[in-house]
Structure 1
Amino acid sequence: MLVNSMGAFAFGRAPTLTEQLAWVAALTATLAVRRRYPLAVLLVVGALFIAAQHRQIADNFMPSVALFLAIYNAGAWEPNRVLARWSRVAVIVAMFAWLGVGLVSFLVAPAPEFADAAGPLDPLLASVLYGIGLNLLFYLSAYFFGDMAWLSARRQVELEHRAEQLRRSQEQNTRGAIVAERVRIARDLHDVVAHHVSVMGIQAAAARRVLDTDHELARAALRTVEDTARTAIGDLRGLLGVLREEDAPNAEDAPSADLDAHRSSPGLDQLPDLVETARSTGLRVEHGVYGEPRAVPEGVALSAYRVVQEALTNVVKHAGARRAEVRLRYLDGAVEVEVTDDGRGRGGKTGGFGLLGMKERVAVHGGRFEAGPRRDAGYRVRASFPAGARPAGEGER
């Protein structure tokens, strides 16, 4: 209606207003479903565009906008990228073929007057080049921006997918870390409590048996129970101090006594004290060190100590042994601890939490762990920890 009022007819004459409105409605109505059926909309709008130009409706701008949106939308929304590419190419080729028909008609018709032409080119040639250049810019822009919209949406989806994968991975890592921390706490509590409680139980039983007949022996047994209880409480405080220290914003927030207990974690130097504690239960324990003693990582020393502690606890609780041996060997690139006894062999007790904790401790350091009945009698526990090579120039001992 505005074009008719202005008299700006694209082809010099126009059909009735009702027909013009019908053509515009047909061209634009299909765009309402352009995202659901992008290829169908592209083909329909392309066909209607050529038909509207053949009918020479008054306005050429709105059909051109509808065709631009149809080409752009096919590139932006069609999931089948092969169809999206070749359907747009086919429509653009068809449009240029129709343009070629129009240019031929323009060239064979009587040449119009170009009274105001002032450029260096022939006015007719300039009109042809202008038409080709404008259409190239029009169609290639629709093609290019459609592809860019598809790539942008795809990158956005990939980023969201990766963000979701990262979130799930972080949740899995967090759950794994929580489980690992629970296992570590359970293992440490078992190592700290089981040994001391076993010693306390044996000493308390001994004190009960001789309480009426040998007061001095009963008194010594109860004193051992008291000392062992203090040691167990100290170890538990040290473990709790570590847990508090991990949650504290800085080291000053943790109790100093707990931190001191953590710093003084038992190691290979405390094995003689561990042997003496086992001897206090009446078990004859021999302790031997082989090779040249050297410094080993604190984590390795603590794990080796815990392995010996748990092995001696099992000897006291389960083996019914009279004699045990604790050996510490400094080998090339490794530190090895071994505990043997002459007891019953504990044939069926190889799946308890104690052995599982020892295996886990050794596995953390990439070492080797062996546990099982000896060939003649008793039981053997052996753990080897990688701990660096022996300094050059030192021989085997």
Structure 2
Amino acid sequence: MDEQRERREGRPAAGGPPWWRQGPPWWRLREESSRRLPWLTTLLLTFFAQVGTRFAAHNQPDRETPDGLARALLLAATLPLLLRHRHPVAVAYTTAAVTVVYLGAGYPYGPVLLAVAVSCFAAVVAGHRYAAWGAVALWWAGQVLVTQVLYRWLPPGGDSAPSWSEELVIALWVVATVAVSELARTRREQWAKERAEREQAARRRADEERLRMARELHDILAHSISVINVQAGVGLALLDSDPEQARTALTTIKAASKEALGEVRHVLDTLRPPTARDPAPRAPAPGLDRLPELVEQARGAGLTVTVTTEGEPAPLPPGADLAAFRIVQEALTNVVRHSGSRQARVRVRHAAGQVTLRVDDDGPATGADAGGSGNGLAGMRERAAALGGTIEAGPRADGGFRVTAVLPTGPASAPAPQEDQ
């Protein structure tokens, strides 16, 4: 289910546990605090190098016993790791050079090599791959020079060059260090990319939600304010000559404004998370079952609306039902505001897998923009497009204006009848 959601939202659905797809918590914490110095890990590595070298010396009696110089070189190799996130290249080369000097002084192999691995890891993960490779190659070449060429003149005295099989083991250790570092770098880049995609998807969902709410508020307010505007004009015109009709207009204004406030509150309630006292929206989203209310509101604005239904009505998906209601509402609002006709015809055709809505008026247009200012038509197109439907709106050849919307409601099992002209 999570992978399907990720695909719908444009996010990659990678396999593995969540920490492998998004990065372990300690890694994200390290990224968030990258400006801080890694005191804890550096102190632990320093302590481990000092203590571990003492035990390593017991298993390497042919090497020099660690003394004060050895302790100083171990500190010089591990303490620079404190700056490995800020200056990874310099730390990698410093650690490699100090470690070569440590081995050249004849001190035992052991935890000191961990400092080279950590500095290489930090440099590769930070993006300085070639610099890290160069530091590791410098270290390996240095220790080969010490153990195979300069060992005659360097302590401990009387030792011999190690076999090339031992050098091969060290080379394999170097390759393993670089490989692990490269794997970590690759995963870090993938985590960063996926995190950026998730953030982009979240921003896109937020933008879509804001657009949806803006569209809802536009449709609600445009329709209600159009009714209020018409009725206010009627009330003012008849205030002296026909007070009873003016009272009716004011009553219509009150009802329209009350309904608009209720719908606006319903839309804004979606912004608030549900609570125990109010776990669900107060009312369901409107649908085609509320067409009679639209007809009544239009009649209050002086518009006579005739509704015709064709086909067998079937319950529509909530998204399609709301879009159909808002499209008809916006089309009737545009008739009230922009058409000289006081009559409109709404036809709802149910077919297999789709519903077709057609709203006609006989015009003529009373403004420069026949059928609307453009925002309402754009909103209708966006609603239809979000469901995979289409909107056609424009003047008819015989005058007037027509809006035709086709909204899919499910898999079509039979072709829809042809639209008559």
User: Secondary structure of the equivalent of 2:407?
Assistant: strand
User: Does residue 376 of structure 1 match 2:404?
Assistant: no
Structure 1 pair 319–307 and aligned structure 2 pair: CA distance change class (3 A): same
Cα distance in 1 between the residues matched to 2:190 and 2:211: 31
Calculate the aligned-residue CA RMSD, in Å: 4.5
Cα distance in 2 between the residues matched to 1:160 and 1:377: 64
Deviation of 1:165 (Å) = 2.5
Cα distance in 2 between the residues matched to 1:347 and 1:359: 21
- Correspondence for 1:204: 232
- Among 151, 165, 168, the alignment partner of 1:136 is 165
- Among 278, 288, 304, the alignment partner of 1:254 is 278
- 1:213-232 aligned at under 5 Å gives the runs 213-232=241-260
- 1:187-202 aligned at under 5 Å gives the runs 187-202=215-230
Structure 1 pair 145–216 and aligned structure 2 pair: CA distance change class (3 A): same
- Correspondence for 1:308: 328
Query: CA contact under 8 A between 1:286 and 1:324: conserved in structure 2?
Result: yes
Cα distance in 2 between the residues matched to 1:203 and 1:83: 82
User: Does residue 364 of structure 1 match 2:386?
Assistant: yes
User: Does residue 277 of structure 1 match 2:310?
Assistant: no
Query: CA contact under 8 A between 2:295 and 2:304: conserved in structure 1?
Result: no
User: Secondary structure of the equivalent of 1:388?
Assistant: coil
Deviation of 1:40 (Å) = 10
Structure 1 pair 178–81 and aligned structure 2 pair: CA distance change class (3 A): closer
Greater percentage in helix: 1
User: Secondary structure of the equivalent of 2:409?
Assistant: strand
- Segments of 5+ residues of structure 2 without an aligned counterpart are 1-61, 63-69, 81-89, 124-128, 151-159
- Correspondence for 1:54: none
Deviation of 1:179 (Å) = 1.8
Deviation of 1:219 (Å) = 2.2
Cα distance in 1 between the residues matched to 2:255 and 2:394: 32
- Correspondence for 1:79: 130
Structure 1 pair 294–87 and aligned structure 2 pair: CA distance change class (3 A): same
- Among 247, 265, 269, the alignment partner of 1:237 is 265
Cα distance in 2 between the residues matched to 1:279 and 1:230: 17
Structure 1 pair 172–82 and aligned structure 2 pair: CA distance change class (3 A): closer
User: Secondary structure of the equivalent of 1:338?
Assistant: strand
Query: CA contact under 8 A between 2:92 and 2:132: conserved in structure 1?
Result: no
Structure 1 pair 36–293 and aligned structure 2 pair: CA distance change class (3 A): same
- Correspondence for 2:86: none
Cα distance in 1 between the residues matched to 2:248 and 2:317: 37
- Correspondence for 1:327: 347
- Segments of 5+ residues of structure 1 without an aligned counterpart are 1-9, 11-23, 50-59, 100-127
Which is higher, the Rg of structure 1 or of structure 2? 1
Query: CA contact under 8 A between 1:241 and 1:254: conserved in structure 2?
Result: no
- What TM-score, normalized by structure 1, do the two folds share? 0.65
- Correspondence for 2:363: 343
Query: CA contact under 8 A between 1:291 and 1:330: conserved in structure 2?
Result: yes
Structure 1 pair 222–86 and aligned structure 2 pair: CA distance change class (3 A): closer
- Correspondence for 1:268: 288
Matched positions, count: 326
- Correspondence for 2:318: 298
Deviation of 1:362 (Å) = 0.9
